[in-house]
Structure 1
Amino acid sequence: MKKPTARDAIVKTAARLFYKQGYSNTGINQIIEEAGVAKSTLYQRFRSKEDLLMTYLDTTGSANISALTNAASTATNPKDKLLAIFDYLQERTTQPEFHGCHFLNLVYEMPEGEERARIEIKKQKDNVRTLFAQILKPIHQEQLADEIYILFEGALIGHKTHHDTWPIQSAKNTISKLL
Protein backbone atom coordinates (compact mmCIF):
# COMPACT_ATOMS: atom_id res chain seq x y z
CA MET A 1 0.00 0.00 0.00
CA LYS A 2 1.26 3.45 -0.97
CA LYS A 3 2.29 5.70 1.89
CA PRO A 4 0.19 8.89 2.05
CA THR A 5 1.98 12.01 0.87
CA ALA A 6 2.35 15.11 3.03
CA ARG A 7 -0.28 16.77 0.84
CA ASP A 8 -2.67 13.87 1.47
CA ALA A 9 -2.07 14.10 5.22
CA ILE A 10 -2.72 17.85 5.18
CA VAL A 11 -5.93 17.52 3.14
CA LYS A 12 -7.23 14.61 5.22
CA THR A 13 -6.51 16.41 8.49
CA ALA A 14 -7.98 19.70 7.31
CA ALA A 15 -11.09 17.92 5.99
CA ARG A 16 -11.65 16.18 9.32
CA LEU A 17 -11.16 19.37 11.31
CA PHE A 18 -13.15 21.66 9.00
CA TYR A 19 -16.04 19.18 9.10
CA LYS A 20 -15.99 18.46 12.82
CA GLN A 21 -15.20 21.88 14.28
CA GLY A 22 -15.76 24.31 11.41
CA TYR A 23 -13.52 26.34 9.15
CA SER A 24 -13.33 29.38 11.41
CA ASN A 25 -12.51 27.29 14.47
CA THR A 26 -9.70 25.42 12.74
CA GLY A 27 -6.30 27.05 12.73
CA ILE A 28 -3.38 26.39 10.44
CA ASN A 29 -1.21 25.48 13.42
CA GLN A 30 -3.68 22.80 14.49
CA ILE A 31 -3.73 21.34 10.97
CA ILE A 32 0.07 21.34 10.85
CA GLU A 33 0.37 19.68 14.25
CA GLU A 34 -2.27 17.01 13.64
CA ALA A 35 -1.04 16.28 10.10
CA GLY A 36 2.50 15.92 11.41
CA VAL A 37 4.04 18.27 8.87
CA ALA A 38 6.16 21.38 9.00
CA LYS A 39 4.60 24.79 8.36
CA SER A 40 6.79 25.16 5.27
CA THR A 41 5.47 21.84 3.95
CA LEU A 42 1.89 23.08 4.20
CA TYR A 43 2.68 26.40 2.54
CA GLN A 44 4.61 24.69 -0.27
CA ARG A 45 1.41 22.87 -1.16
CA PHE A 46 -1.22 25.47 -0.27
CA ARG A 47 -0.72 29.23 -0.46
CA SER A 48 -3.39 29.89 2.15
CA LYS A 49 -5.99 28.35 4.42
CA GLU A 50 -8.56 29.35 1.80
CA ASP A 51 -6.73 27.29 -0.85
CA LEU A 52 -6.87 24.34 1.51
CA LEU A 53 -10.60 24.99 1.99
CA MET A 54 -11.13 24.99 -1.77
CA THR A 55 -9.40 21.60 -2.06
CA TYR A 56 -11.58 20.29 0.77
CA LEU A 57 -14.75 21.53 -0.94
CA ASP A 58 -13.76 20.03 -4.29
CA THR A 59 -12.73 16.67 -2.81
CA THR A 60 -15.81 16.48 -0.59
CA GLY A 61 -18.09 17.51 -3.43
CA SER A 62 -16.76 14.76 -5.67
CA ALA A 63 -17.16 12.16 -2.92
CA ASN A 64 -20.66 13.42 -2.12
CA ILE A 65 -22.00 13.31 -5.67
CA SER A 66 -20.40 9.89 -6.15
CA ALA A 67 -22.11 8.55 -3.02
CA LEU A 68 -25.49 9.94 -4.09
CA THR A 69 -25.07 8.53 -7.61
CA ASN A 70 -24.12 5.15 -6.18
CA ALA A 71 -27.16 5.19 -3.91
CA ALA A 72 -29.42 5.98 -6.87
CA SER A 73 -27.87 3.18 -8.92
CA THR A 74 -29.31 0.59 -6.53
CA ALA A 75 -32.79 1.22 -7.97
CA THR A 76 -34.24 0.94 -11.45
CA ASN A 77 -36.90 3.62 -11.79
CA PRO A 78 -36.65 7.36 -11.08
CA LYS A 79 -38.92 7.38 -8.03
CA ASP A 80 -37.02 4.52 -6.39
CA LYS A 81 -33.68 6.12 -7.33
CA LEU A 82 -34.68 9.32 -5.51
CA LEU A 83 -35.98 7.38 -2.53
CA ALA A 84 -32.71 5.42 -2.47
CA ILE A 85 -30.80 8.70 -2.20
CA PHE A 86 -32.93 9.69 0.77
CA ASP A 87 -32.46 6.21 2.28
CA TYR A 88 -28.72 6.74 1.93
CA LEU A 89 -29.08 10.15 3.59
CA GLN A 90 -31.09 8.63 6.41
CA GLU A 91 -28.49 5.90 6.93
CA ARG A 92 -25.65 8.44 6.78
CA THR A 93 -27.24 10.67 9.42
CA THR A 94 -27.30 7.80 11.91
CA GLN A 95 -23.52 7.43 11.79
CA PRO A 96 -21.65 8.88 14.79
CA GLU A 97 -19.21 10.76 12.54
CA PHE A 98 -22.05 12.59 10.76
CA HIS A 99 -22.02 16.29 11.70
CA GLY A 100 -24.38 17.65 9.06
CA CYS A 101 -23.89 18.67 5.48
CA HIS A 102 -20.31 19.71 4.81
CA PHE A 103 -21.45 22.55 2.57
CA LEU A 104 -24.31 23.89 4.67
CA ASN A 105 -22.09 23.87 7.75
CA LEU A 106 -19.57 26.04 5.92
CA VAL A 107 -21.90 28.38 4.07
CA TYR A 108 -23.42 29.56 7.34
CA GLU A 109 -20.07 30.44 8.84
CA MET A 110 -18.65 32.18 5.76
CA PRO A 111 -18.57 35.95 6.19
CA GLU A 112 -19.74 38.22 3.40
CA GLY A 113 -17.06 38.64 0.79
CA GLU A 114 -15.90 35.00 0.85
CA GLU A 115 -17.16 34.59 -2.68
CA ARG A 116 -14.64 31.98 -3.78
CA ALA A 117 -15.93 29.47 -1.21
CA ARG A 118 -19.58 30.41 -1.79
CA ILE A 119 -19.19 29.85 -5.53
CA GLU A 120 -17.69 26.40 -4.93
CA ILE A 121 -20.45 25.49 -2.45
CA LYS A 122 -23.09 26.62 -4.95
CA LYS A 123 -21.39 24.52 -7.64
CA GLN A 124 -21.54 21.46 -5.42
CA LYS A 125 -25.20 22.07 -4.58
CA ASP A 126 -26.00 22.59 -8.27
CA ASN A 127 -24.42 19.19 -8.96
CA VAL A 128 -27.04 17.64 -6.66
CA ARG A 129 -29.82 19.51 -8.48
CA THR A 130 -28.42 18.27 -11.80
CA LEU A 131 -28.34 14.69 -10.51
CA PHE A 132 -32.01 14.95 -9.55
CA ALA A 133 -32.86 16.33 -13.02
CA GLN A 134 -30.94 13.49 -14.70
CA ILE A 135 -32.82 10.93 -12.62
CA LEU A 136 -36.17 12.50 -13.52
CA LYS A 137 -35.41 12.91 -17.23
CA PRO A 138 -36.61 9.44 -18.34
CA ILE A 139 -40.11 10.24 -17.04
CA HIS A 140 -40.04 13.82 -18.38
CA GLN A 141 -40.27 15.32 -14.88
CA GLU A 142 -37.00 17.28 -14.78
CA GLN A 143 -38.93 20.35 -13.65
CA LEU A 144 -39.39 18.61 -10.27
CA ALA A 145 -35.64 18.55 -9.65
CA ASP A 146 -35.73 21.86 -7.77
CA GLU A 147 -38.58 20.66 -5.56
CA ILE A 148 -36.69 17.45 -4.78
CA TYR A 149 -33.57 19.50 -4.12
CA ILE A 150 -35.44 21.72 -1.65
CA LEU A 151 -36.74 18.59 0.10
CA PHE A 152 -33.16 17.27 0.25
CA GLU A 153 -31.77 20.49 1.72
CA GLY A 154 -34.71 20.80 4.10
CA ALA A 155 -34.17 17.24 5.29
CA LEU A 156 -30.50 18.02 5.99
CA ILE A 157 -31.35 21.19 7.91
CA GLY A 158 -34.21 19.48 9.75
CA HIS A 159 -31.94 16.65 10.81
CA LYS A 160 -29.27 19.07 12.00
CA THR A 161 -31.86 21.01 14.01
CA HIS A 162 -33.76 18.10 15.52
CA HIS A 163 -31.06 15.39 15.58
CA ASP A 164 -33.68 13.00 14.27
CA THR A 165 -34.45 11.27 11.00
CA TRP A 166 -38.11 12.29 10.78
CA PRO A 167 -37.33 15.26 8.45
CA ILE A 168 -35.75 12.81 6.00
CA GLN A 169 -38.69 10.43 6.25
CA SER A 170 -41.07 13.34 5.74
CA ALA A 171 -39.18 14.36 2.59
CA LYS A 172 -39.41 10.78 1.31
CA ASN A 173 -43.15 10.77 1.94
CA THR A 174 -43.47 13.98 -0.07
CA ILE A 175 -41.47 12.51 -2.96
CA SER A 176 -43.76 9.49 -2.97
CA LYS A 177 -46.74 11.83 -3.30
CA LEU A 178 -45.07 13.92 -6.05
CA LEU A 179 -44.16 10.95 -8.21
Structure 2
Amino acid sequence: MGSSRRAGRPSARERLLAAADELFYAEGVQSVGIDRVIEHAGVAKASLYNTFGGKEQLIRAYLEARHARASEHVRHVMECCRTPRERILAIFEAQGEVFASPDFHGCAFVSAAAEARPGGLVEQAADDHRRALRAVFTELAEQAGAADPARLAHQLHLLYDGAVLSARHDRCPTAAEAARAAAAALLDAAAGPAREGPG
Protein backbone atom coordinates (compact mmCIF):
# COMPACT_ATOMS: atom_id res chain seq x y z
CA MET A 1 0.00 0.00 0.00
CA GLY A 2 2.73 2.43 1.01
CA SER A 3 4.81 1.63 -2.06
CA SER A 4 1.85 2.27 -4.38
CA ARG A 5 1.30 5.68 -2.77
CA ARG A 6 4.97 6.54 -3.25
CA ALA A 7 4.82 5.40 -6.87
CA GLY A 8 1.95 7.78 -7.58
CA ARG A 9 3.48 10.76 -5.80
CA PRO A 10 5.13 13.45 -7.96
CA SER A 11 8.92 13.44 -7.93
CA ALA A 12 10.93 16.12 -6.16
CA ARG A 13 11.66 17.68 -9.55
CA GLU A 14 7.97 17.81 -10.45
CA ARG A 15 7.04 19.31 -7.09
CA LEU A 16 9.78 21.93 -7.31
CA LEU A 17 8.69 22.92 -10.83
CA ALA A 18 5.03 23.11 -9.78
CA ALA A 19 5.92 25.30 -6.80
CA ALA A 20 8.18 27.48 -8.94
CA ASP A 21 5.49 27.85 -11.59
CA GLU A 22 2.92 28.99 -9.07
CA LEU A 23 5.13 31.34 -7.06
CA PHE A 24 7.43 32.75 -9.72
CA TYR A 25 4.60 33.52 -12.12
CA ALA A 26 2.38 35.19 -9.53
CA GLU A 27 5.04 37.13 -7.62
CA GLY A 28 8.19 37.37 -9.74
CA VAL A 29 11.35 35.32 -9.95
CA GLN A 30 13.40 37.64 -7.75
CA SER A 31 10.68 38.40 -5.20
CA VAL A 32 10.33 34.73 -4.29
CA GLY A 33 13.20 33.29 -2.31
CA ILE A 34 14.43 29.77 -2.79
CA ASP A 35 13.36 28.77 0.72
CA ARG A 36 9.73 29.58 -0.12
CA VAL A 37 9.86 27.38 -3.21
CA ILE A 38 11.38 24.53 -1.22
CA GLU A 39 8.78 24.86 1.53
CA HIS A 40 5.92 25.09 -0.96
CA ALA A 41 7.19 22.01 -2.78
CA GLY A 42 7.63 20.07 0.46
CA VAL A 43 11.12 18.84 -0.39
CA ALA A 44 14.50 18.95 1.28
CA LYS A 45 16.79 21.84 0.38
CA ALA A 46 19.34 19.39 -0.98
CA SER A 47 16.76 18.17 -3.50
CA LEU A 48 16.78 21.51 -5.28
CA TYR A 49 20.55 21.71 -5.57
CA ASN A 50 20.88 18.06 -6.53
CA THR A 51 18.18 18.39 -9.18
CA PHE A 52 18.76 21.84 -10.64
CA GLY A 53 22.01 23.17 -9.19
CA GLY A 54 20.64 26.50 -8.00
CA LYS A 55 17.92 29.11 -8.30
CA GLU A 56 18.89 30.40 -11.75
CA GLN A 57 18.75 26.88 -13.16
CA LEU A 58 15.36 26.35 -11.51
CA ILE A 59 14.05 29.56 -13.09
CA ARG A 60 15.31 28.42 -16.47
CA ALA A 61 13.59 25.04 -16.03
CA TYR A 62 10.37 26.82 -14.99
CA LEU A 63 10.48 28.96 -18.14
CA GLU A 64 11.28 25.97 -20.35
CA ALA A 65 8.27 24.13 -18.92
CA ARG A 66 6.03 27.13 -19.58
CA HIS A 67 7.41 27.35 -23.12
CA ALA A 68 6.57 23.69 -23.72
CA ARG A 69 3.00 24.21 -22.49
CA ALA A 70 2.54 27.38 -24.53
CA SER A 71 3.87 25.67 -27.67
CA GLU A 72 1.52 22.74 -27.15
CA HIS A 73 -1.41 25.13 -26.68
CA VAL A 74 -0.59 26.89 -29.95
CA ARG A 75 -0.23 23.58 -31.80
CA HIS A 76 -3.58 22.45 -30.43
CA VAL A 77 -5.49 25.56 -31.52
CA MET A 78 -3.96 25.40 -35.01
CA GLU A 79 -4.85 21.75 -35.57
CA CYS A 80 -8.32 22.49 -36.90
CA CYS A 81 -7.18 25.34 -39.15
CA ARG A 82 -6.98 24.71 -42.89
CA THR A 83 -4.93 27.68 -44.10
CA PRO A 84 -1.85 29.58 -42.88
CA ARG A 85 -4.02 32.67 -42.41
CA GLU A 86 -6.39 30.77 -40.12
CA ARG A 87 -3.45 29.36 -38.17
CA ILE A 88 -1.97 32.82 -37.62
CA LEU A 89 -5.28 34.21 -36.41
CA ALA A 90 -5.74 31.17 -34.18
CA ILE A 91 -2.59 32.17 -32.29
CA PHE A 92 -4.28 35.41 -31.28
CA GLU A 93 -7.44 33.51 -30.37
CA ALA A 94 -5.32 31.31 -28.11
CA GLN A 95 -4.06 34.48 -26.46
CA GLY A 96 -7.63 35.41 -25.66
CA GLU A 97 -8.11 32.09 -23.85
CA VAL A 98 -5.03 32.78 -21.72
CA PHE A 99 -6.08 36.36 -20.98
CA ALA A 100 -9.47 35.15 -19.74
CA SER A 101 -7.87 33.05 -17.02
CA PRO A 102 -8.23 34.50 -13.50
CA ASP A 103 -4.59 33.50 -12.94
CA PHE A 104 -3.27 35.59 -15.83
CA HIS A 105 -0.35 37.80 -14.72
CA GLY A 106 1.15 38.81 -18.03
CA CYS A 107 4.01 37.19 -19.93
CA ALA A 108 6.18 35.01 -17.70
CA PHE A 109 9.12 35.39 -20.08
CA VAL A 110 9.03 39.18 -20.24
CA SER A 111 8.66 39.41 -16.46
CA ALA A 112 11.52 37.01 -15.79
CA ALA A 113 13.82 38.64 -18.35
CA ALA A 114 13.19 42.07 -16.83
CA GLU A 115 14.56 40.78 -13.53
CA ALA A 116 17.38 38.69 -14.99
CA ARG A 117 21.07 39.49 -15.28
CA PRO A 118 22.12 40.18 -18.87
CA GLY A 119 23.44 37.12 -20.66
CA GLY A 120 22.38 34.69 -17.93
CA LEU A 121 20.41 31.47 -18.18
CA VAL A 122 17.10 33.21 -17.49
CA GLU A 123 17.53 35.79 -20.23
CA GLN A 124 18.59 33.02 -22.61
CA ALA A 125 15.44 31.00 -21.85
CA ALA A 126 13.26 34.06 -22.45
CA ASP A 127 15.09 34.82 -25.71
CA ASP A 128 14.68 31.21 -26.86
CA HIS A 129 10.92 31.45 -26.30
CA ARG A 130 10.66 34.65 -28.31
CA ARG A 131 12.79 33.28 -31.15
CA ALA A 132 10.60 30.20 -31.32
CA LEU A 133 7.42 32.29 -31.55
CA ARG A 134 8.96 34.52 -34.23
CA ALA A 135 9.95 31.40 -36.17
CA VAL A 136 6.34 30.16 -36.09
CA PHE A 137 5.08 33.51 -37.39
CA THR A 138 7.77 33.55 -40.10
CA GLU A 139 6.98 30.04 -41.28
CA LEU A 140 3.26 30.76 -41.42
CA ALA A 141 3.89 34.08 -43.20
CA GLU A 142 5.91 32.21 -45.83
CA GLN A 143 3.13 29.66 -46.24
CA ALA A 144 0.60 32.49 -46.58
CA GLY A 145 2.58 33.85 -49.53
CA ALA A 146 3.80 37.09 -47.96
CA ALA A 147 6.31 38.95 -50.12
CA ASP A 148 8.46 39.64 -47.05
CA PRO A 149 7.74 36.92 -44.46
CA ALA A 150 10.30 38.19 -41.94
CA ARG A 151 8.76 41.67 -41.96
CA LEU A 152 5.24 40.35 -41.59
CA ALA A 153 6.37 38.03 -38.78
CA HIS A 154 7.94 41.00 -36.99
CA GLN A 155 4.69 42.96 -37.28
CA LEU A 156 2.63 40.03 -36.01
CA HIS A 157 5.01 39.56 -33.10
CA LEU A 158 4.64 43.21 -32.17
CA LEU A 159 0.86 42.79 -32.15
CA TYR A 160 1.22 39.70 -29.99
CA ASP A 161 3.42 41.54 -27.49
CA GLY A 162 1.13 44.55 -27.45
CA ALA A 163 -1.90 42.40 -26.71
CA VAL A 164 -0.14 40.84 -23.70
CA LEU A 165 0.82 44.27 -22.37
CA SER A 166 -2.67 45.68 -22.85
CA ALA A 167 -4.39 42.67 -21.30
CA ARG A 168 -2.10 42.78 -18.26
CA HIS A 169 -1.58 46.47 -17.58
CA ASP A 170 -4.69 48.04 -19.13
CA ARG A 171 -6.82 45.12 -17.90
CA CYS A 172 -8.35 45.08 -21.37
CA PRO A 173 -10.50 41.97 -21.91
CA THR A 174 -10.66 42.56 -25.67
CA ALA A 175 -6.91 42.96 -26.25
CA ALA A 176 -6.57 39.64 -28.09
CA GLU A 177 -9.63 40.39 -30.22
CA ALA A 178 -8.17 43.78 -31.22
CA ALA A 179 -4.80 42.20 -32.00
CA ARG A 180 -6.48 39.51 -34.10
CA ALA A 181 -8.34 42.15 -36.13
CA ALA A 182 -5.10 44.06 -36.73
CA ALA A 183 -3.36 40.80 -37.71
CA ALA A 184 -6.14 40.07 -40.20
CA ALA A 185 -5.65 43.51 -41.76
CA LEU A 186 -1.91 42.91 -42.04
CA LEU A 187 -2.51 39.55 -43.69
CA ASP A 188 -4.98 41.07 -46.15
CA ALA A 189 -2.46 43.73 -47.10
CA ALA A 190 0.39 41.22 -47.41
CA ALA A 191 -1.66 38.84 -49.56
CA GLY A 192 -3.38 41.52 -51.65
CA PRO A 193 -1.19 41.42 -54.77
CA ALA A 194 -1.13 37.59 -54.72
CA ARG A 195 -4.93 37.51 -54.71
CA GLU A 196 -5.19 39.85 -57.67
CA GLY A 197 -2.87 37.68 -59.76
CA PRO A 198 -0.78 38.76 -62.75
CA GLY A 199 -3.73 40.22 -64.58
Do the structures match in fold with TM over 0.5? yes
Structure 1 residue 138 displacement after superposition: 1.9
**C-alpha separation between the residues in 2 aligned to 1:94 and 1:79?**
23
Paired residues in the alignment total 178
Structure 1 residue 137 displacement after superposition: 2.2
Q: Render the CA deviation track for 1:69-125: whole Å, top value 9, x for unaligned.
A: 221222111221111111111121111111111111212222x43532112211111
Alignment of 1:9-48 (within 5 A): 9-48=15-54
Mark the runs of 5 or more structure 1 residues left unpaired by the alignment: none
SS class of match (1:122): helix
Q: 1:172 to 1:35 in 2, by over 3 A?
A: same
**C-alpha separation between the residues in 1 aligned to 2:30 and 2:156?**
31
**C-alpha separation between the residues in 2 aligned to 1:175 and 1:37?**
46
Alignment of 1:1-179 (within 5 A): 2-110=8-116, 112-113=117-118, 115-141=120-146, 142-143=149-150, 144-179=152-187
SS class of match (1:146): helix
**C-alpha separation between the residues in 2 aligned to 1:34 and 1:19?**
14
Question: Could you tell which deviates more after superposition, 166-175 or 124-133?
Answer: 166-175
SS class of match (1:174): helix
**C-alpha separation between the residues in 2 aligned to 1:131 and 1:23?**
27
**C-alpha separation between the residues in 1 aligned to 2:46 and 2:126?**
28
8 Å CA contact retained: 1:13, 1:31: yes
Q: 1:79 to 1:165 in 2, by over 3 A?
A: farther
Structure number with larger C-alpha Rg: 2
- Please list every run of at least 4 consecutive aligned residues from structure 1 whose deviation after the TM superposition is greater than 3 angstroms: none
Mark the runs of 5 or more structure 2 residues left unpaired by the alignment: 1-6, 188-199
8 Å CA contact retained: 2:85, 2:144: no
**C-alpha separation between the residues in 1 aligned to 2:38 and 2:119?**
23
TM-score by length of 2: 0.83
- Backbone CA RMSD of aligned residues: 1.6
**C-alpha separation between the residues in 1 aligned to 2:107 and 2:122?**
15
One-letter amino acid of the counterpart of residue 128, structure 2? K
Identity %: 27
